[in-house]
Structure 1
C-alpha cells in the first residue's frame, strides 16, 4: 500500500464537499469472510488508510461500493458506514429475495444504491439480464435508490437498446468498460453517449487503468472528455481505491486526470460535488441527525 504522504496533491482547486464516488473497504478475513472463490486475494484496504488519502486529496465525502470479494455479505461495508458517519454513503450487493426490512435498515445506515454484477451474468441472454435489471430497479425505486452496473463493455453495448425505460437512475462503472481490446468500437461508444444524454443513465469516471490497459492514460482522455461534454450533470468521479490489484498507484494522479479532461471549474464542481450530492442523497438529513 502506497503511503498517503507520497500521493500527488490536487493540481486544481478542489470544490467544497468533493466526493469520491467509488472506493472499497476490506477487513480481516476472520471477521469478514470472502466468497468461496474470490477473483483476487485480500487487499490492504482498511478504512483508516483511506481516510488519510481523503485528507491528502481534500476529499470530503466518499461512497463505499461492495466488492465482489464479499458477494452479498455487506457486513464490512455497513460497519465502515457506521464508523465513517454522515460523510459516507454505501452501494450494496443483494440477493433478489432480500426482504424489505433489511433494505430499510440499509437505507438508515446510509446505503443509496444496489450494485449489479453483470460480469457474473454475462453468459445470459440480453432479455434475461434486462428482466433482472427491471426487477432490481423496482426494489430500488421504492426506496429512492439507484442501480449501479458493474459490467463488461460488450454487455453494456448489447443492453443499450433495452435500457430506455429502466424505472430508476442507473450508473455504469468505469466509463462503460468499453475496452478497445475487447472489440468495442467508436460506434458502440457513441451509442453509450446517446443513452447518457437521453435516458436515466449516469457514467462514472473511474479506473482509467482498466480501460487504458497498456496504452497509457492519454488513450482514455478522448473517452472521458466525450462523456463530460455529453452530459456534465450526469457524471461522477471515483478513485476505485485500493486500485486492485496494484495498490501502489497514485490516487492523486488519478484525481488530477480530471483536471486534464476538463479545464472548467464549474464542470469539475459538478462532477466532484454537485452531481454525487444529488445522486447519493447528501442534501437531506440522514439517520445520523445532521447534514454532512
Structure 2
C-alpha cells in the first residue's frame, strides 16, 4: 500500500522573510531549489511523497530580490521522477541566471541530453534513497555508468542519499574521477547510526577526492534538535575545504513552505565569519561548478 503523502503547506509571505545579516556577495547563488507547475501541465509520479507544493518560479524570483540572490540551480524533485519538463521549461523562462540538475533514465538519447545542456543543465541527480536496498556493488556500478555519461557532457553528479549509503560508498568514491556533490551535508544522521568517525571519513573525501558538499536543508539533519545541533558539522565542512562547499536553500522546503528562507541563509554567518569564504561558497564555487 502506498504511503499517505505529506501535505504541502502554503507559501510564506515574502514580507515576513528575514533579511541577510551579512553583505551578500555579487552573483550569489542558491544551488538547491525546486520548481513546480500546474498539475494539468506537469503530472507527478504515481505515488508522490507529498502533495503539489506552491513552488512557482515567479514567487522564487521575487524572493531572490529580497535575499540578494542573483543566480540559482533548479534540482529535479522526486515529485516528477525523471520527467524533467517542468525544470527545462523553468530554465528557458529564467535564462542565463539559472542552471539545472536533472534526474534521468539510463539510455536517454544524445539529442535529449544535448538539448538539456543547451537549456542550462549541468548535472545528474542520482536518487540513492530509491536504490538504498541494493547491494553496494550494484550502486557503485550504477554510479560508474552515470559518471561516464557526465564525462562526455562535462557535467557532474549529485547524490541524494542516506548517510549510511554515503558511508558505505566512501572507499569507492575516493577513486571516482568525475566531480560529484553530496546533498544535505552528507545526510549523516545520528538516528541512522552514523558516527563522528564516519563524518571524519567524509571530510577526508571532501579534502582529497572529487567530492563537494552542499550546505542545504539543515532542518533535515537537525530534525527537532534545533539548528545549533548542525553548527559543528557545518563549520567542520567549511573549514575542511572552503573551495568545494556550496549553499542551497532547499526551497520550497517541502512540505513546510512556511519556513523562513532568510533565516536559513543567515545560518551561513554562524558557520563562517570570513567574508571571503562566504563569497567562495555563495559565488565563486557555484560559478565554477555550474559553468555560469
TM-score where L is the length of structure 1: 0.96
Please tell me whether the aligned partners of residues 74 and 92 of structure 1 are also in contact (alpha carbons under 8 angstroms): yes
Give the aligned partner of residue 213 of structure 1: 223
Find the aligned partners of 1:275 and 1:97 in 2 and give their Cα distance.
31
1:65 aligns with 2:68: no
Find the aligned partners of 1:36 and 1:222 in 2 and give their Cα distance.
39
- Which residue of 247, 260, 263 maps to 1:237? 247
Secondary structure of 1:142's aligned partner? helix
Deviation (angstroms), 1:186: 0.3
Give the aligned partner of residue 286 of structure 1: none
1:201 aligns with 2:211: yes
Give the aligned partner of residue 290 of structure 1: none
- 5 Å matches for 1:244-263? 244-263=254-273
Give the aligned partner of residue 177 of structure 2: 167
1:270 aligns with 2:284: no
Deviations 1:74-128 (Å, cap 9, x if unpaired)?
A: 0000000011010000000010110111111100000000000000000001111
Moved over 4 A (4+): none
Please tell me whether the aligned partners of residues 10 and 252 of structure 1 are also in contact (alpha carbons under 8 angstroms): yes
- 5 Å matches for 1:168-187? 168-187=178-197
1:97 aligns with 2:103: no
- Which residue of 61, 79, 82 maps to 1:51? 61
Find the aligned partners of 1:180 and 1:114 in 2 and give their Cα distance.
28
Find the aligned partners of 1:240 and 1:41 in 2 and give their Cα distance.
17
Aligned residue-pair number: 282
1:75 aligns with 2:85: yes
Find the aligned partners of 2:291 and 2:15 in 1 and give their Cα distance.
31
Unpaired segments of 5 or more residues in structure 1?
A: 283-292
**Which region of structure 1 is more displaced relative to structure 2, 207-216 or 157-166?**
157-166
- Which residue of 166, 187, 190 maps to 2:200? 190
Deviation (angstroms), 1:165: 2.0
Secondary structure of 2:153's aligned partner? coil
Find the aligned partners of 2:264 and 2:131 in 1 and give their Cα distance.
30
Unpaired segments of 5 or more residues in structure 2?
A: 1-10
